[in-house]
Amino acid sequence: MNTHTRTIPSAPRAICYHATGKPDEVLKYEALPGDAREPAAGEVLVLMEMAVIHPSDLGMIGGTYGRLRPLPAVAGREGVGRVAKLGEGVTTLRIGDRVRMPEDSGVWREALVAKVSDLMRVPADLPAEQIAMAFINPPTAWLLLHEFADLKPGDWIIQNAANSAVGECVIQLAKALGLRTANLVRSPEKHEANLRALGADIVVADDDKALKAVLAQTGGAAPRLALNSIGGMSAITLTRALGNNGQLVTFGGMTGDAIRFPTREFIFKNVALRGFWMDRGARSATPAALRAVYDAVYARLRDGSLRMAVDSVYPVSQYAEALARAGAYGRSGKVLLRGPGA
């Protein structure tokens, strides 16, 4: 049996939780016997290369996310690994191939044995830090720009929380598609330079003057698509900015505030309100459709029109420090975990 040149842990460990709750109270770094076994026929051993820490991971651990795992569970939703051993009869993967770590198995782990049918080979020529983040936020941004409005080059879109990971992906992908973006943020003085460097056309404070400020800079042209991940008054601003038959798509609720919709826009502009959850979309899409979205993301990563910010990288064994950094004020980009496949 061929073995990858990277060192394979004799007793691979994973970041697990046996009950939902606060991460610092329920997470444990422990060995899982199944991760140390030899791959059977049709299976491979994968060493985790790089994994991402997302707010949704913390929601799963805390028991508040829209879809929870049976307990006990391994934490983490997004990451990539390298094939280290092949089971009998495996011909579609080779030693050293990079694959997406299976989300449902949990990815904050050193290694796992997986069925080949549960794995997706991903590009090996892209930086591990970038490809590890390619499966949730960039596809979310891509689908938001393609699924809800027939946008043409030159069209305007508007979004709040523009400095979020999805927001930054939206800006870059929109620019590559020839679209123009109006971006609302809490602190323009902190974020404007970076967002404009990514391709933002307008950056304004998300306050009661935002609508007037945006329309003044668009020359009166109304956005056709509004992307909301906050709610409350911010969602009202987005709705009022839309033109006739505009679409407001909500895919997050950072503040937890209820969304209140202006009656006038419903009646006189025929504004439509939609919801989007990438998790649901990915599970209902055909493999071919999902692959097409990922391929579009890979192409943008490869040509440099899409780049995701990385704040820091920690060994998976230092997960407590990594989680503390992920929750720290002033963080710039995602915090990643590095495994033995790196």
Residues involved in catalysis: 65
Distance in angstroms (rounded) separating the CA atoms of residues 185 and 183: 7
Is residue 70 reached through a cis peptide bond, with omega within 30 degrees of 0 on the bond before it?
no
d(CA 138, CA 124) in angstroms, rounded, equals 18
8 A C-beta contact, residue 84 and residue 90: no
Task: Pull the structure tokens for residue 178.
Answer: 């020839």
End-to-end CA distance of the chain: 21
d(CA 139, CA 160): 18
Neighbours of 301 (CB within 10 A): 21
What is the full DSSP assignment across 287-304? HHHHHHHHHHHHHHHHHT
Burial 82-112 (b: 16+ CB within 10 A, else e): bbbbbbeebeebebebbbbbbbebbbbbbbb
Contact of 238 with 204, CB cutoff 8 Å: no
Q: Strand (E) positions, the chain?
A: 13-17, 27-31, 43-52, 73-74, 79-86, 98-100, 111-115, 120-121, 156-159, 180-185, 202-205, 225-228, 247-250, 272-275, 310-315, 334-338
Residue 44, Cβ neighbours under 10 Å: how many? 26
Residue 292 contacts by C-beta under 8 Å, 6 or more apart in sequence? none
Q: Are 294 and 135 in contact (CB under 8 A)?
A: yes
For 202, phi and psi rounded to 5 degrees? -135, 135
